[in-house]
Structure 1
Amino acid sequence: MNHVIREAYGAVFEDALIEELIEISTIYDFEEGDKLIEIGEYIKKMPLLLHGAIKIMREDKDEGELLLYFIEKGDTCAFTLICSLGEKRSEIRAIAETSGSLAMVPVSKMEEWMGKYRSWRNFVLNSYNNRLSEMLVAVDNLAFMKMDDRLLSHLQEKAKINNSTIINNTHQEIAYELNTSRVVISRLLKSFENDGLIRLNRKNIELLHSEK
């Protein structure tokens, strides 16, 4: 556990903070598809992502879902920070995009470290800023980008997150993430294949080119 925490956060936090993290953190391993945070849950501990990738989803009033952003190694989730510190119920759903592990930090330590460690304070503030920027991108994509551009951008992001051109998601799963219908996604994917951008295989999608 020690080396995993140091590898993920050693360049960000002071040695004293790393030692505290090693001492008080609970390590939680997860697999692709695991639901890590559910809407309506109280969050007692803040997760620090040691490796892997997690997608953060928002649910609308009609029970649809929308992908807000991904978090990767060395990240945390701004929504989780807000809910855990304010003792509020979660307004997001976190689902594992890949297998990985988390270091779970008690809320009491989060508040203590804000005054004790400059690196922690900077980390929390930067996390808020980064997630807000990603949220604005998600809003802009939803408001201004056509669905075909959103879909291609989404496939590129998944390829980057997974470090692979093979995307192991069904058309229905992608439709959920983009808050649209499977029929629309299937039609656009077929169009992408005809344009030579992707290859549709039986169980996955292969990204061939990144530009339309």
Structure 2
Amino acid sequence: MRTELSIVATPGRLPRIDAVGGLAGRHTGPDTVHLIGTAATPLGGDELDITIVVRAGARLVVRSVAATIALPGTDTVVSTAHWRFDIGEGAELDFDPEPTIVAGGAHHHVVTTVQIAPDARLRLRERVQVGRSGEDDGGWRGDLLAELGAVPLLRHRLQLGAGSSTDDRLSAARSLDSELVYPDHRPAWSGTVDEVRLPLAAGGSLATRTSSRLRALVPG
């Protein structure tokens, strides 16, 4: 199945939502949209193409009502998703959906491209868990490509799970919590050996945490 979703935020009006396939959006506030699954996706062979545009001066908050579960298909185990974000002059995007869970035997590949104006604001969070309870043979790959105006902001690729170059059933990470923030003037920070926030040369920061399991969120 192919899924196409477009969300366009414009100042002074509700975001426009156009959707075909297994993912839709619902207005839950004047500037807030929640992503909602309308069919079981992604399955192996599925393609997701999502575009989120925040026009100059607009603000958009994007959340989701539930986790996304990537499952193997009958003929192929690989599903793909392409997320495109375009944040205009003076605009703001806060993107923080529920995690993606890659079930055993499935492989999910994500390409995220970001175009952000130099005076815009962005928080882009991605959480991934490879394997449900008792599973560890799924795989995930994510490419994050960000441009600040005409200047490259970030080129980042990370792989988790089966098929990755660092895979180790005993100790390799099976989860990722990643957050791209712009602007961000905080200095570099490191918690545990697998948790770090690094400033980007053109501005902003990228924080990543890898581990065996995602941390449970604390209410409030």
Shorter-chain TM-score bucket reads: under 0.3
Flag the structure with higher strand content.
2
Flag the structure with higher helix content.
1
Alignment TM-score, normalising by the size of structure 2: 0.26
Point out the structure with max Rg over C-alpha: 1
Alignment TM-score, normalising by the size of structure 1: 0.27
